[in-house]
C-alpha cells in the first residue's frame, strides 16, 4: 500500500477542505486522510472556510456542524448558493444520535453525514463514495 | 239563435236591452265607419278591455290582428255599400289586450233604416276555442254527475228546464234514485214534474216557489231546505241545491240540481235548538269552560260564562275572537294540529294545552274536544279545565320525587319503601348492593322472599304487618352473620300513609350499627361512671308554676332540686338569684306551646335540654311540666365532630399541594389555601366560582376542562403527570395532578376531587441533569475520539514500525479508551431513554437473524473463555417491528452479561413465538443472582459482584438501557435466577403483523443496514 501511493500522486491528489474548530481533531483526521492519499487544507471557522472553498475549489468539503460563529448549516447553505462552490460535495459531521440535525444537514445541501466522534473507516468510505480515491 | 238576436236588437238597437249584456256570446254593433257603437259584457271579457276603452274605437284598426286588418276592412266597406252580397258568416281572429289572437266565429246581421240602407252591423261571435273547451267540460261533468247520481246514498241529481221566470218546469234528467227518494219512477217524473212538486209539504210550497223565482231572476244557485211528504205519509227533510244556467238562446233556464235527504241532521238540529237554551243554562253553571267554535273559521260560536271568565273576556267579546287568539302564538302550530286531529277522532282529550288570557297570562288546560253540528255548521266543542294548579302540583311532585331519590341515595344505610303487600316500591343503591341485585330498578316489585333467605324474609314480612296493624314505627336490632364478621343491624320501619291517613305501605331504613353499638357500650360505661360520680340521671321530670315555684320533682331529679316544696326552681336548680333567662317557663306560658331550651349546669359541667310543656292543673291554673334530658354527651360529640372537621380543614390548608373539589360545572366546592394562594384569593372567595371565571390562560383551562369532562363521562380517575399551570402572578408551574370522581354529601351530581403537586422544581432539576449529561458526554467524546484516532494511526503501522512493547502499551491504552467511550455511550443512551428522546428506526426484522449475528460476534470471546455458546431457534421466522440496531444492542448486552458472570458451562440464546409475541431469552449456567438483588436488577448504577468472572466493569447502566429499549418497543423484560444455578433474562417484543415471511431474510438485512 505504501509502495503504491507515490504512483498515485502522479495524478493530482484529490483536495479536501476540512472545517473544524478543534485543532487536535484536525491534526488526527488530516494525518488519516493524507495517509489515504488525499490533500487536506483546513481552517477553523466558517468565514475562512467559505473563502477557502471559493479560492481553492476543493474536491470535497468536510464540515463540522457545530462551529463558533457561523454554524455548519449556514455554511452549507452559503456554499450551495455560490455558483463556484455549488457542486462541491459536502460531508457534514454531526453529534451522534442527533437524527434531526442530520436531516437538516441533508436539507441544507450536504451530500452525506458522518457522526462524531469520527469513525475513520466510515469517514473514508463516505469520502471514497463521493469523490473516489 | 242568430235570428232571435237580430229580432231583439232590431227593436231598439240604440239602447240594447239588458239581455245583450248577459248572453254568453260576443255582441258587437259597428256603425257604418266601422267604429264600435256597442259591445256586451262577454265581448269586453274576451277582448280584455273595459267597455269605455272599446266603444268609439275603430274595430278593424284596434281589435284585429294587423295581418288581416286591411283585407277585412275592405270587405266591410264593400258590404256597407251593398257592393258585396252575403257576409252573414265568417270566422276571423280578434286581438285581445294580452296581444293574443282568438278565433271567433261571427254571425253578422245588417241593420237597415227605412230606406233599406245599412246603417249598422250587429255581429254576434262565439269564441270557438272556449266553446270547444266548455263542451268537453260539459261532457266530462255530465259523466261525473251521472256517476255521482248513481252512487249518492242519501240523495239524487236532476236537471230541470224552466222558463226565465222559473215556471213551466220540466225534468230533462232525473237519476234512478228518485225511486228511493220519492217513491216514484223516473219515467213518471219526466212525464209530469208535478209528481215531485206536489210532494213538497204544503206549508213549504210558497217558500220553495219564491226561492226558485229569485234564483231564476238572479241566476244564482238555489238552495232550499224543505219538507217532503212521501206517498207512504213519511215526512222527510230535503235539501235542494241547483245551479241555474241560461240556455244559449237565453229563453230557458236549465237547473242542474242535487237533492239530499237531511232528515237526520234536521232532527238533530231541532233537538239541539230545542235544548239550546237548556244547554246554555247548564253550560253556564258548569265549573269547566265550554266553547263551541266553527271548524273552518275557528271563530267561537258559543262560550259559557266560565270560559269567558277563564280568559278574562266578557261572553260577548269572546265571540269575536278565534281559537288563535286564546293560545300563545308560538304554540299555535302544535295546537292547530291537535285541533285538526280532533276532527278525525270522535272525542279527544288534549292535556296541558297552554292558553293565553286577555291580559297575556298563561295557564294550562286539559281540553276535551268533540265535533258537532252547531247552527248548521260543522263545529268543535271543547271543554276546558284549568290544570295550571294541577300541573304545578305535578311538577312539584316530580321535584319532590327527585328530592326523595336524592335523599334516598344519600342515606348512609339501606332505605326501602314497600306497599301493603310488602312489594318493594323504591330502594336505594345501597339496598340493591346489599341484596346482590346491584340495580335498584330490578328490585321494584320484588318481595322479601325473592331477595332474602326464607327465614329472614318471613320475619321481615311479619314485621311489616305488625307495623301496619299497630300504625307505629318499629325498631329492631338484629345480629347478622356475614362472611367477615358478626354485625349488628338496626332496622327502622314506619307505616306510610296517603293523604287520607290510610296505610298504603311501609318504609324502612336499615344500617350497620356495629360501630355504634360498640361505642354506645363504651359510652354507657363512661356515662354510668359519670352519673355515679355526679349523682345525676339521664332524664328527670318536674312541674313548676308561673312564679317558678316547684310543685313536683321526680325522685331521680330530686338529687338536683332537693325538696321541692314551694321553693323557687332557680334557687336550687341554677343557683341563681334571678329567674333563669333560658328556663323557658314564661315563654311556654305565654305561647301555651312546648318550648325547648338548653340549660348549662356550670358546676357539674353538664348540658340539659329542657322541654317545657304548659298545661292546666285541675284547678285551672297554668303550670309547666319540664322534661330534662341530659345532652352533655351529644353536645360533646357534636363539638368533637366540629373540631374534627375543623382540624381536617386545617390539615388540608397546611398541605402545600393544591387540593380542590369541583362540581360538574367546574365550580369550586372546596379549595385549600394552596389553591387560593395560586389565584391570589382567599379560599372563601373561590367557593362557587367557576374555574373559567378566574383562570386567565385559555389553553390551560381548556385542557383542565377536557380532562374533567372525560372523568365525568367514564367515572374513572386520571393522573396527569405534567400539566402547566399559570398562577395569578403569571408564574408558570408544572403540576402533577390526580383527579378523582366522587360524590360529595348533599350534591347530587358527581364532583371531581383534585390534588395537584407542584413539580416545577423537580422538572427543572431533571431537565438540568439531562442537559449536563448530554453536554458532558459530547464534550468528553471529542478528545476521546482524537485519542483513538491517534493510537490507531500509530498501531496500524502506517506512520512507521513500532516496537512490540510499545505496541502492547498502546493496545492497553486503546482498550481503556474504548471502555471509556462505551461508558459515555451508555450515559448518553440512558439519558435519551429517560427523556424519551431516543429515535427508533423501526422496520420488520427477524429476531432470529439478530440473535445469530450476536452469537457470531461473541463466538471468539466465548471460545477463549471455554464457554459453550448455544443458539436455539425455531424453523419459522420471528418477524418483529423493531430498530434492528437497538435490539442487537439488547441481545449483546444480555449475552455480554451472561458471559461475564459465567465461569464454565453454557450461555444459551433462544428465540420463539409465544402467546402472540416474540420472545427471546439468554440463559446462563453462571453464578446467578441473590434474591435481594433480583428486584434491583434493572435499576440504574447498580453493580452486583455476581462473580469476579473478569470482563470490564461498567457503569451499571447496561440493564436499565436494555429495559428502556425493550419497553420503548412495547415489550417486556424480566429476569429469573437462582443463586449458584444461573440466570435467565427474557424479553418480549410485539410481532410484526403483516406476513412477509417470504422476503424475510433480505428485508431483515436491508433494514438492519439502513
Q: Tell me: pLDDT of B1006 over 60.
A: no
Of the candidates A22, A35, A99, the beta carbon closest to that of B782 is on A22
Q: What is the structure's pLDDT at B535?
A: 39
Among B784, B788, B789, B830, pick the best mutation site for testing chain A contact (most A Cβ within 10 A).
Answer: B789
Stretch B571-580: mean pLDDT, rounded? Answer: 52
Dist CA B658 CA B735 (whole Å)? 9
User: Looking at CA atoms only, how far is residue B961 from chain A in angstroms?
Assistant: 15
In the prediction, which pLDDT does B986 show? Answer: 93
Better-scored residue on pLDDT, A4 or A83: A83
CA distance B647 to chain A (A): 55
**What pLDDT does A23 receive?**
85
Q: How many whole angstroms separate alpha carbon A62 and alpha carbon A59?
A: 10
Contacts of A97 in chain B (CB under 8 A): 828, 832, 838-839
pLDDT of residue B12: 39
Contact flag A29-B790 (C-beta cutoff 8 Å) = no
Instruction: Give the per-residue pLDDT at B909.
Output: 92
Query: Smallest Cβ distance to B789: which of A2, A28, A95?
Result: A28
Residue A115, pLDDT score:
79
**B513-526: b or e for each residue (b if 16 or more CB lie within 10 Å)?**
bbeeeeeeeeeeee
B798 to chain A, closest Cα gap in Å: 8
- Asked if the C-beta of A115 comes within 8 angstroms of chain B's C-beta atoms, the answer is no
pLDDT at B780: 78
Nearest to B786 among A24, A35, A97 (CB): A24
Instruction: Give percent of chain B with pLDDT exceeding 70.
Output: 77
Which residue among A95, A99, A116 sits closest to B839, beta carbon to beta carbon? A99
pTM of the model: 0.37
The DSSP H or E segment spanning B389 is helix B388-410
Q: Å from B825 to nearest chain A CA?
A: 9
Q: Does A125 touch chain B (CB under 8 A)?
A: no
Tell me, yes or no, if A120 comes closer than 8 A to chain B by beta carbon: yes
ipTM above 0.95 for this complex: no
Predicted confidence (pLDDT) at residue B7 exceeds the cutoff of 50: no
With contact defined as beta carbons under 8 Å apart, do B769 and B776 qualify?
A: no
* pLDDT computed for residue B747 by the predictor: 65
So what's the pLDDT on residue B944?
59
A35 touches chain B (CB under 8 A): yes
Instruction: Please state, rounded to an integer, the average pLDDT across all residues of chain B.
Output: 76
Question: What does the pLDDT average to over A24-53?
Answer: 88
Residue B806 in this model has a pLDDT that exceeds 80: yes
Please say if the pLDDT value at position B860 is more than 60.
Answer: yes
Q: What is the pLDDT of residues B945-966, one digit of tens each?
A: 544 444 556 677 888 889 889 9
Per-residue pLDDT, B801 = 85
Question: Of the candidates B793, B825, B832, which has its C-beta nearest A31's C-beta?
Answer: B793
Poorest-pLDDT segment among A11-25, B247-261, B908-922: B247-261
Count of A-B CB contacts under 8 Å = 43
The three-state secondary structure class of B516 is helix
Q: Which strands make up the sheet holding A112-116, listed edge to edge?
A: A38-43, A14-19, A60-64, A90-95, A112-116
The predicted pLDDT at position A40 comes to 92
* Gap from B785 CA to chain A (nearest CA, Å): 5
Least confident of B4-18, B257-271, B308-322, B445-459: B4-18
User: B920 falls in which pLDDT band (50, 70, 90)?
Assistant: very high
Mean pLDDT on B504-508: 79
Residue-wise pLDDT for B684-723, tens only, equals 888 888 888 888 888 888 888 888 888 888 888 888 888 8
Amino acid B1001: pLDDT? 44
Give A55 to chain B, closest Cα distance, Å: 29
Quick one: which H or E segment has residue B946? none
Nearest CB to A29 within list B789, B799, B825: B789
Q: Judge whether residue B271 has pLDDT over 70.
A: no
Q: Are A90 and A114 within 8 A, CB to CB? A: no
How many whole angstroms separate alpha carbon B757 and alpha carbon B656?
Answer: 8
Distance, in Å, from the CA atom of B356 to the CA atom of B368, rounded to the nearest integer, reads: 17
Q: Is B782's CB within 8 Å of A117's CB?
A: yes
pLDDT per residue as tens digits for the range B14-48: 344 555 666 667 888 888 888 888 888 888 888 88
- Domain residue limits, chain A: 15-131
DSSP string, B736-762: EEEEEEEPPTT--S-EEEEEEEE-HHH
A84 in contact with chain B, both atoms CB, cutoff 8 A = no
Least confident of B666-670, B778-782, B916-920: B778-782
pLDDT confidence of residue A61 = 92
List pLDDT tens digits, range B627-639: 777 777 777 777 7
A121 touches chain B (CB under 8 A): no
Going by pLDDT thresholds of 50, 70 and 90, the confidence category of residue B997 is very low
pLDDT number for residue B280: 66
CA gyration radius, chain B: 56
Strands (E), B72-201: 89-95, 101-112, 118-127, 155-163, 170-174
A13: contact with B, CB 8 A cutoff: no
Chain B residues touching A32 at Cβ < 8 A: 789, 793
Give the mean model confidence (pLDDT) for residues A9-17. 76
Interface test with B, best of A25, A97, A124 (most B CBs within 10 A): A97
Chain A nearest CA to B813, separation (Å)? 17
Report CB contact under 8 Å: A35, B798: yes
Lowest mean pLDDT of B562-566, B574-578, B912-916, name the range: B574-578
**C-alpha atoms less than 13 angstroms from C-alpha of B608 in its C-beta half-sphere:** 25
Q: Which of A1, A44, A117, A123 to substitute to test the interface with B, most B CBs within 10 Å?
A: A117
User: What Cα–Cα distance (Å) separates residue A1 from each residue in A4, A8, A36, B509?
Assistant: 5, 11, 9, 102
pLDDT at position B762: 82
**CATH numeric code, A15-131:** 3.40.50.2300
Q: What is the mean pLDDT of chain A?
A: 82
For the ranges A90-104, B271-285, B311-325, B711-725, the lowest mean pLDDT is seen at B271-285
Residue B212, pLDDT score: 84
Q: Quick one: which H or E segment has residue B426?
A: strand B424-427
Nearest chain B Cα distance for residue A117, angstroms: 5
Do the Cβ atoms of B379 and B301 come closer than 8 Å? yes
pLDDT score, position B812: 87
Amino acid B921: pLDDT: 93
pLDDT in tens, B333-348: 777 777 777 666 655 6
Query: Is A4 within 8 Å of chain B by CB?
Result: no
CB atoms closer than 10 angstroms to residue B114:
5
Query: What average pLDDT does the segment B742-757 reach?
Result: 78
- Cβ-Cβ contacts under 8 Å, A22 against chain B: 782, 786
Confidence at residue B13, expressed as pLDDT on a 0 to 100 scale = 40
pLDDT of B45 reads 83
- Residues in B whose CB is inside 8 Å of some CB of A read 778, 781-786, 788-790, 792-793, 798-799, 821, 825, 828, 832, 838-839
Residues B255 and B159 sit within 8 Å (Cβ to Cβ): yes
**Shortest alpha-carbon distance between residue A58 and chain B (Å):** 24
Instruction: Please list every residue in chain A whose beta carbon sits closer than 8 Å to the beta carbon of residue B961.
Output: none
List CB contacts of B688: < 8 A, sequence separation 6 or more: B667, B668
Q: Is A98 in a helix, a strand, or coil?
A: coil
Percentage of residues in chain B with pLDDT exceeding 90? 2
pLDDT at B504: 77
What is residue A58's predicted lDDT score, i.e. its pLDDT?
A: 92
Confidence at residue B578, expressed as pLDDT on a 0 to 100 scale? 52
Span B915-932, average pLDDT = 86
* Cell (9 digits) for B844: 420488520
Q: Does A40 touch chain B (CB under 8 A)?
A: no
Amino acid at each position: 500500500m505504501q509502495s503504491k501511493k507515490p504512483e498515485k500522486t502522479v495524478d493530482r491528489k484529490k483536495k479536501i477542505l476540512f472545517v473544524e474548530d478543534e485543532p487536535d481533531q484536525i491534526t488526527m483526521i488530516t494525518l488519516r486522510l493524507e495517509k489515504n492519499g488525499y490533500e487536506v487544507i483546513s481552517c477553523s471557522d466558517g468565514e475562512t472556510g467559505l473563502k477557502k472553498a471559493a479560492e481553492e475549489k476543493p474536491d470535497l468539503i468536510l464540515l463540522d456542524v457545530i462551529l463558533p460563529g457561523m454554524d455548519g448549516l449556514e455554511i452549507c447553505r452559503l456554499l450551495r448558493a455560490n455558483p463556484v462552490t455549488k457542486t462541491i460535495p459536502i460531508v457534514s459531521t454531526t453529534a451522534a444520535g442527533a437524527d434531526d440535525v442530520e436531516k437538516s444537514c441533508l436539507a441544507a445541501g450536504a451530500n452525506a453525514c458522518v457522526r462524531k466522534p469520527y469513525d475513520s473507516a466510515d469517514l473514508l468510505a463516505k469520502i471514497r463514495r463521493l469523490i473516489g480515491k | 239563435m242568430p235570428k232571435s238576436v237580430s229580432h231583439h236588437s232590431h227593436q231598439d238597437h240604440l239602447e240594447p236591452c239588458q239581455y245583450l249584456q248577459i248572453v254568453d256570446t260576443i255582441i258587437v254593433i259597428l256603425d257604418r265607419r266601422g267604429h264600435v257603437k256597442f259591445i256586451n259584457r262577454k265581448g269586453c271579457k274576451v277582448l280584455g278591455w273595459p267597455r269605455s276603452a272599446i266603444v268609439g274605437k275603430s274595430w278593424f284598426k284596434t281589435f284585429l290582428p294587423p295581418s288581416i286588418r286591411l283585407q277585412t276592412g275592405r270587405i266591410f266597406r264593400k258590404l256597407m255599400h251593398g257592393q258585396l252580397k252575403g257576409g252573414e258568416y265568417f270566422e276571423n281572429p280578434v286581438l285581445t289586450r294580452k296581444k293574443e289572437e282568438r278565433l271567433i266565429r261571427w254571425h253578422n246581421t245588417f241593420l237597415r233604416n227605412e230606406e233599406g240602407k245599412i246603417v249598422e252591423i250587429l255581429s254576434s261571435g262565439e269564441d270557438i276555442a272556449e266553446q270547444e273547451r266548455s263542451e268537453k267540460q260539459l261532457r266530462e261533468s255530465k259523466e261525473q254527475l251521472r256517476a255521482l247520481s248513481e252512487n249518492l246514498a242519501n240523495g239524487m241529481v236532476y236537471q230541470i228546464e224552466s222558463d226565465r221566470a222559473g215556471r213551466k218546469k220540466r225534468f230533462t234528467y232525473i237519476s234512478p234514485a228518485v225511486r228511493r227518494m220519492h217513491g216514484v219512477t223516473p219515467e213518471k217524473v219526466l212525464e209530469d214534474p208535478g209528481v215531485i212538486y206536489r210532494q213538497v209539504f204544503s206549508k213549504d210550497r210558497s217558500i220553495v216557489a219564491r226561492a226558485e223565482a229569485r234564483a231564476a231572476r238572479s241566476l244564482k244557485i238555489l238552495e232550499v231546505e224543505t219538507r217532503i211528504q212521501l206517498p207512504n205519509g213519511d215526512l222527510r227533510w230535503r235539501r235542494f241545491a241547483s245551479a241555474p244556467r241560461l240556455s244559449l238562446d237565453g229563453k230557458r233556464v236549465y237547473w242542474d240540481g242535487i237533492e239530499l235527504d237531511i232528515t237526520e241532521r234536521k232532527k238533530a238540529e231541532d233537538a239541539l235548538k230545542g235544548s239550546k237554551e237548556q244547554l246554555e243554562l247548564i253550560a253556564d253553571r258548569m265549573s269547566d269552560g265550554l266553547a263551541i267554535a266553527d271548524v273552518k273559521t275557528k271563530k267561537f260560536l258559543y262560550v259559557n260564562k266560565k270560559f269567558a271568565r277563564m280568559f278574562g273576556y266578557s261572553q260577548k267579546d269572546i265571540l269575536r275572537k278565534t281559537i288563535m287568539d286564546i293560545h300563545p302564538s308560538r304554540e299555535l302550530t302544535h295546537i292547530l294540529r291537535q285541533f285538526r286531529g280532533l276532527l278525525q277522532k270522535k272525542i279527544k282529550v288534549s292535556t296541558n294545552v297552554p292558553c293565553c288570557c286577555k291580559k297575556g297570562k298563561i295557564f294550562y288546560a286539559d281540553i276535551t274536544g268533540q265535533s258537532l253540528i252547531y247552527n248548521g255548521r260543522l263545529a268543535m266543542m271543547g271543554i276546558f279545565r284549568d290544570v295550571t294548579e294541577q300541573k304545578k302540583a305535578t311538577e312539584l311532585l316530580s321535584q319532590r320525587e327527585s328530592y326523595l331519590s336524592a335523599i334516598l341515595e344519600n342515606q348512609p344505610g339501606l332505605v326501602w319503601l314497600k306497599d301493603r303487600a310488602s312489594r318493594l316500591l323504591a330502594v336505594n343503591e345501597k339496598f340493591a348492593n346489599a341484596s346482590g341485585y346491584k340495580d335498584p330498578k330490578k328490585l321494584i316489585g320484588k318481595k322479601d322472599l325473592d331477595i332474602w333467605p326464607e327465614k329472614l324474609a318471613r320475619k321481615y314480612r311479619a314485621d311489616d304487618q305488625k307495623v301496619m296493624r299497630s300504625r307505629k314505627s318499629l325498631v329492631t336490632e338484629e345480629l347478622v352473620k356475614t362472611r367477615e364478621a358478626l354485625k349488628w343491624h338496626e332496622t327502622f320501619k314506619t307505616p306510610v300513609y296517603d293523604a287520607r291517613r290510610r296505610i298504603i305501605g311501609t318504609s324502612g331504613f336499615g344500617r350497620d350499627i356495629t360501630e355504634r353499638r360498640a361505642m354506645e357500650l363504651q359510652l354507657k360505661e363512661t356515662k354510668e361512671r359519670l352519673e355515679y360520680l355526679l349523682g345525676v340521671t339521664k332524664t328527670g321530670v318536674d312541674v313548676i308554676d308561673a312564679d317558678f315555684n316547684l310543685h313536683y320533682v321526680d325522685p331521680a331529679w330530686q338529687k338536683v332540686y332537693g325538696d321541692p316544696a314551694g321553693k323557687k326552681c332557680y334557687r336550687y336548680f341554677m343557683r341563681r338569684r334571678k329567674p333563669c333567662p333560658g328556663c323557658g317557663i314564661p315563654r311556654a306560658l305565654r305561647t301555651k306551646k312546648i318550648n325547648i331550651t338548653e340549660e348549662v349546669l356550670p358546676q357539674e359541667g353538664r348540658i340539659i335540654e329542657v322541654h317545657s310543656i304548659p298545661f292546666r292543673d285541675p284547678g285551672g291554673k297554668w303550670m309547666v311540666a319540664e322534661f330534662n334530658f341530659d345532652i352533655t354527651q351529644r353536645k360533646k360529640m357534636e363539638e368533637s365532630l366540629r373540631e374534627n372537621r375543623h382540624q381536617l380543614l386545617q390539615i388540608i390548608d397546611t398541605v402545600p399541594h393544591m387540593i380542590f373539589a369541583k362540581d360538574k360545572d367546574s365550580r369550586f366546592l372546596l379549595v385549600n389555601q394552596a389553591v387560593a394562594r395560586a389565584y391570589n384569593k382567599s379560599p372563601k372567595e373561590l367557593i362557587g366560582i367557576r374555574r373559567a371565571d378566574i383562570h386567565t390562560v385559555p389553553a390551560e383551562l381548556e385542557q383542565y376542562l377536557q380532562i374533567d369532562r372525560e372523568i365525568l363521562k367514564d367515572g374513572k380517575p386520571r393522573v396527569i403527570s405534567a400539566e402547566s399551570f399559570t398562577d395569578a402572578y403569571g408564574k408558570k408551574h408544572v403540576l402533577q395532578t390526580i383527579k378523582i370522581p366522587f360524590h360529595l354529601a348533599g350534591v347530587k351530581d358527581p364532583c371531581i376531587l383534585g390534588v395537584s403537586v407542584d413539580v416545577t422544581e423537580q422538572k427543572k432539576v431533571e431537565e438540568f441533569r439531562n442537559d449536563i449529561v448530554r453536554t458532558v458526554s459530547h464534550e468528553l467524546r471529542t478528545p476521546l475520539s482524537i485519542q483513538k484516532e491517534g493510537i490507531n494511526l500509530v498501531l496500524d503501522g502506517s506512520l512507521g514500525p513500532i516496537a512490540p512493547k510499545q505496541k502492547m502499551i498502546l493496545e492497553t491504552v486503546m482498550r481503556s479508551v474504548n471502555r471509556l467511550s462505551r461508558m459515555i455511550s451508555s450515559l448518553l443512551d440512558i439519558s435519551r431513554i429517560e427523556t424519551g428522546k431516543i429515535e427508533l428506526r423501526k422496520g420488520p426484522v427477524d429476531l432470529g437473524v439478530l440473535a445469530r449475528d450476536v452469537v457470531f460476534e461473541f463466538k471468539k470471546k466465548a471460545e477463549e473463555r471455554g464457554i459453550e455458546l448455544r443458539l436455539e431457534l425455531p424453523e419459522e421466522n420471528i418477524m418483529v417491528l423493531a430498530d434492528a440496531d437497538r435490539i442487537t444492542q439488547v441481545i449483546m448486552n444480555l449475552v455480554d452479561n451472561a458471559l461475564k458472570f459465567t465461569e464454565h458451562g453454557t450461555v444459551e440464546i433462544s428465540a420463539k413465538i409465544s402467546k402472540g409475541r416474540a420472545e427471546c431469552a439468554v440463559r446462563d449456567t453462571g453464578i446467578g443472582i441473590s434474591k435481594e438483588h433480583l428486584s434491583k436488577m434493572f435499576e440504574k448504577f447498580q453493580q452486583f459482584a455476581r462473580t469476579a468472572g473478569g470482563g470490564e466493569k461498567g457503569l451499571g447502566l447496561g440493564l436499565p438501557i436494555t429495559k428502556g429499549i425493550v419497553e420503548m418497543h412495547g415489550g417486556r423484560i424480566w429476569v429469573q435466577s437462582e443463586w449458584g444455578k444461573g440466570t435467565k433474562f427474557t424479553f418480549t417484543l410485539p410481532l410484526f403483523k403483516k406476513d412477509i415471511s417470504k422476503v424475510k431474510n433480505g428485508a431483515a438485512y436491508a433494514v438492519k443496514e439502513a
